[in-house]
Amino acid sequence: MELAIFGAQGIALGLYKAVHSCCPNRNIRCFLVSERGVNAPILAGIPVLQIDSFADNLSQEEKDNTEVLIATPENVMGEIEKILESHGLHYFIRMDSLRWAELMGYYHIQDKLFLPLSVLPVGYHKASVTTYMAKFYKDKPLSGNYDLPAWITPIQVGAALCEERVADILDCRGEGISEKNVNYCELTGLYWIWKNKLYTEKENDYFQYYGLVQYRRILNLSEDDILRLEDNDVDVVLPYPMPYEPDIEEHHRRYLKDKDWQAMLRALEEVHPEYAESFVQVLKQQYLYNYNIILARKDVLRDYCNWLFPVLERTEELSVPRGRERADRYIGYMGESLSTLYFLYNRERLNIVHTGCRFLV
C-alpha cells in the first residue's frame, strides 16, 4: 500500500524522516491537511495536499490501496479520522505520541544526532527525581484517567492571576513571577522551581533531578529509565526535538513578530555574547526543543535557569510594547528557541539524552 501522512508540521516531518529511514521501501505519496493555512506547499520534497483535492482525484480502488498515518496532536485525531472516512479513506493509523516517540528513537539511533535514553544500560541505583507539572486554571479537563508517576507533582502557574485553585503548589507562593504567566506561560513554573527548589539543601527537600512538564505533555519515563540516570551520569533528559523546514528560523517567524525577535537577539548579545555568535548556526539547522519540558540534575538545571531568565527579563525591557504591557505568550515561545540554543551549544559538555513526550488527551 502507498502511504500518506496527515499533518504538515514538526510531528509529521519527524514521522516522515523516521519512516523514510527505517522503511526506505515504503513510498510516502504526500502530506495531507484539512486546510492550506500556513502550511508549506512542499515538505521533504513531496507535496502537501488538501484532503478534498487529494481524495477527489482518487478512485475507490486507489483509496483502498492508500494507508494514512495521522501525525498531529492527539486531541484532534478523532476528528481527522471522521474526515478521512467521509472521503472514502478507511485505512489509517493514529501515530500517537508513544508510537511517534518509538519511531523517533529508532531513527535517532541510526543518525546519532539525539541519543535516546532507552539505549543506555539499566543501572542499579534509582535516582531521586521530582518533576512539576504546570497547570493553568483554564485548562480543559482530561478526557482520560491517567495514573501519573509518583515523581510528578502539579503546580498551578499563573496562580496570582485568579482565585481558582487547581493544584496545591502555587507559583505565587515564595519567590516567583506568577503575574507574568500571560507572557511566560509554563516558564513561570520553571522560575518558581529555580528560585525555591534549586538553591535549598534541606534534607527533606533534596532531589538529584528536577524538572518541568506540562498538563497535557509529560516525559515518558519508565522505571528502567529512572535507573538509567545516575549510573550513566545523565545530565539532562529532553523530549525528542521536532524538525522543521527549511530550518527552525522559519518556524519562529510563524509565532513571533520580527520586532520581538530582534529584541531577544539584542538581549542575548548583551547578556551572553558568546551564545549570540553561535545562534546563527543553530537557527540554520532543523531541530527545535519544543514545550519548555526538561529534566536535569539539580546543578545543571540551576545553571540553565541562571542563563535563561536574565535573557528573557532583558527581552521584556527591550520589547515594544514592553512585556508588562502585553499578554501574548511571546516569552514562552522564546524559551523554546533559547533552550534549543543552550543545549545544542553545550551538547559536548553535558550528557544529554532524549525520550518521548506523552500527550494526555
Is it the case that residue 125 has pLDDT exceeding 80? Answer: yes
- On the question of pLDDT at 184 being above 80, the answer is yes
Q: Looking at residue 202, what is its pLDDT?
A: 66
- Classify residue 102: in a domain, yes or no: no
Tell me the C-alpha to C-alpha distance, in Å, between residue 189 and each of 5, 81, 146, 178, 245: 35, 35, 22, 8, 30
Q: Is the pLDDT of residue 100 over 90?
A: yes
Q: What CATH code is carried by the domain that includes residue 341?
A: 3.90.550
Q: What confidence tier does 91 reach under pLDDT thresholds 50, 70, 90?
A: very high
Cβ(359)–Cβ(216) below 8 Å: yes
Q: Do 23 and 169 fall into the same domain?
A: no
Do the domain assignments include residue 232? yes
Q: What residues make up the domain containing 35?
A: 2-95
Strands 46-50 and 42-43: antiparallel
CB-neighbour burial class of residue 20 (10 A; exposed 0-12, middle 13-18, buried 19+)? middle
65 with 145, same domain?
Answer: no
Domain-embedded: residue 241? yes
With 80 as the cut, is the pLDDT of residue 200 above it? no
The verdict on residue 230 lying in a domain is yes
CA atoms within 13 A on the CB side of 258: 0
Answer yes or no: is 106 within a domain.
Answer: no
pLDDT, position 251: 81
Q: Is residue 308 part of a domain?
A: yes
Whether pLDDT at 170 is above 60: yes
Q: Are 53 and 45 in contact (CB under 8 A)?
A: no
Statement to judge: residues 164 and 78 lie in one domain:
no
Task: Say whether 148 sits in a helix, a strand or coil.
Answer: coil
Indicate whether 203 pLDDT > 60: no
248, 310: one domain: yes
281: amino acid identity, one letter: Q
When divided into structural domains, the chain yields a total of 2
- For residue 104, being part of any structural domain is answered with no
Orientation angle between helical segments 298-318 and 330-345, nearest 10 degrees: 130
Q: Are residues 328 and 256 in the same domain?
A: yes
| Average pLDDT in the chain | 95
Q: Is the pLDDT of residue 254 over 90?
A: no
Q: Within this chain, do residues 137 and 283 fall inside the same structural domain, yes or no?
A: yes
How far from the centroid of its chain's Cα atoms is residue 110's Cα? 22
79 and 131 fall within a common domain = no
Local structure of residue 65 (DSSP, 8 states): T
